[in-house]
């Protein structure tokens, strides 16, 4: 059985080492792809600037005879790479947690981000500054969102497909939530820019949180700290699923088809063989009959070794006795005489080295 345990441990170490090597290769490939994409994007920006200078020169020199570049028959103004991609998030290697947390700080942080699709937001910087739009998708792992109508760019496909408008990711730090609030003094309701949101436990007594949100949304309420005002989440439609012949309905899953007691395994042996490969090298638990067979094999092997030892030559018997004597004696110890001779040799060696270097020995 020791051989089986050793084999399983060795297989586990080998699998761990292979997984680490695979992860390192994937990280290297990821860095190479990001570096190539960034290099391509930079070259495209340079080419766009060059084309813009050429177009400006032609417009100035040719006047009315200058070509019409904005008629839609060409890809004027379109990009082939993610030029407007936020490359500071990738850093050529991977997303920086500090940067992502800084982006999402005003909205409650990355773990409890208080933004959801269909939220109305205002763009705080960039070419679309001051425009209000709705969130189309949220990428919390990158600290970005995509909007429905703004912050878009013309994109050309991989195979020179016609240019189409594509939503580009925008940093969460560049947007703020917009929600209509009523002024308690004047009673006027108007859109207000909310600069800070905080996640709080849900209030089951209010209508802001329902059990449906627990299943199809976030499990907390979002609060404006300065006003103690709870901002409701956008309405969510529960998904409707259609059952087909290949699906397993909930009634079949919850139906009890196997009964067992304390003297039987928690599931049939066939299911155990499916969950745990019976021929796997990582297996550590075995059936009693398999353990008994392996112990019999080890006993037979020991018997063969004893039979071989009984037919040893006198020289082999002498070597065996010498090995046993060395094992019983233990580690050798240095005597006082041996330590003195070693010290004398070290002192002589030291004086020789000092004389060769031209340095006189300093008396202690």
pLDDT in tens, 228-245: 888 988 887 777 888 898
Our measurement of the distance from residue 83's CA atom to the centroid of its chain's CA atoms, rounded to an integer in Å, reads: 25
Q: Is residue 75 part of a domain?
A: no
Q: Is residue 309 part of a domain?
A: no
Q: Is residue 238 part of a domain?
A: yes
- CATH number (domain holding residue 134): 2.30.30.30
Judged by DSSP in three states, 13 sits in: helix
What is the pLDDT at residue 161? 67
pLDDT at 212 over 50: no
Please give, one letter per residue, the 3-state secondary structure of 104-173.
CHHHCCCCCCCCCCCCEEEECCCCCCCCEEEEEEEECCCCEEEECCCCEEEECCCCCCCCEEEECCEEHH
Q: Is residue 315 part of a domain?
A: no
Q: How confident is the model at residue 360 (pLDDT cuts 50, 70, 90)?
A: low
Where does residue 103 fall: left (phi above 0), alpha (psi -120 to 50 degrees), or beta otherwise? alpha
% of the chain exceeding 90 in pLDDT: 23
Q: What do you get for the CA distance between the two ends of the chain, in Å?
A: 61
Q: Is residue 102 part of a domain?
A: yes
> Which has the minimum average pLDDT: 40-54, 153-167, 304-318?
153-167
pTM of the model: 0.53
Q: Is residue 256 part of a domain?
A: no
What is the pLDDT at residue 349? 87
Domain count, the chain: 1
Average per-residue pLDDT for the chain: 82
Q: Is residue 145 part of a domain?
A: yes
Q: How confident is the model at residue 134 (pLDDT cuts 50, 70, 90)?
A: very high
Q: How confident is the model at residue 77 (pLDDT cuts 50, 70, 90)?
A: low
Judged by DSSP in three states, 194 sits in: strand
Q: How far apart are CA 17 and CA 253, in angstroms?
A: 38
Instruction: Look up the domain containing 212 and give its range.
Output: 95-242
Q: Is residue 163 part of a domain?
A: yes
Instruction: Judge whether 79 and 154 are in contact, CB under 8 Å.
Output: yes
């Amino acid at each position: 059985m020791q051989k089986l345990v050793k084999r399983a441990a060795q297989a586990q170490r080998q699998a761990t080492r292979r997984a680490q090597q695979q992860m390192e290769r994937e990280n290297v490939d990821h860095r190479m792809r990001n570096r190539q994409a960034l290099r391509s994007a930079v070259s495209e920006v340079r080419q766009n600037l060059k084309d813009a200078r050429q177009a400006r020169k032609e417009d100035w020199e040719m006047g009315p005879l200058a070509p019409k570049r904005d008629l839609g028959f060409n890809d004027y103004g379109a990009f082939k790479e993610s030029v407007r991609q936020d490359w500071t998030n990738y850093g050529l290697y991977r997303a920086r947690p500090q940067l992502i947390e800084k982006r999402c700080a005003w909205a409650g942080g990355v773990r409890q981000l208080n933004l959801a699709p269909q939220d109305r937001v205002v763009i705080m910087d960039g070419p679309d500054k001051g425009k209000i739009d709705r969130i189309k998708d949220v990428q919390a792992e990158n600290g970005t969102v995509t909007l429905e109508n703004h912050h878009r760019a013309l994109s050309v496909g991989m195979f020179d497909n016609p240019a189409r408008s594509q939503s580009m990711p925008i940093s969460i730090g560049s947007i703020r939530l917009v929600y209509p609030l009523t002024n308690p003094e004047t009673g006027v309701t108007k859109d207000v820019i909310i600069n800070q949101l905080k996640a709080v436990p849900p209030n089951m007594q209010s209508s802001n949180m329902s059990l449906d949100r627990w299943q199809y949304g976030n499990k907390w309420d979002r609060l404006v700290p300065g006003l103690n005002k709870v901002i409701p989440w956008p309405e969510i439609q529960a998904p409707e699923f259609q059952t087909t012949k290949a699906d397993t309905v909930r009634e079949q899953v919850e139906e009890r088809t196997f009964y067992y007691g304390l003297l039987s395994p928690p599931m049939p042996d066939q299911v155990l063989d499916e969950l745990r490969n019976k021929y796997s090298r990582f297996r550590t638990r075995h059936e009693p009959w398999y353990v008994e067979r392996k112990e019999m094999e080890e006993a037979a092997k020991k018997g063969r070794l004893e039979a071989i030892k009984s037919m040893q030559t006198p020289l082999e018997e002498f070597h065996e006795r010498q090995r046993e004597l060395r094992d019983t004696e233990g580690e050798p110890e240095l005597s006082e005489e041996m330590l003195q001779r070693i010290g004398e040799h070290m002192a002589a060696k030291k004086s020789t080295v000092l004389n060769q270097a031209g340095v006189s020995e300093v008396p202690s």
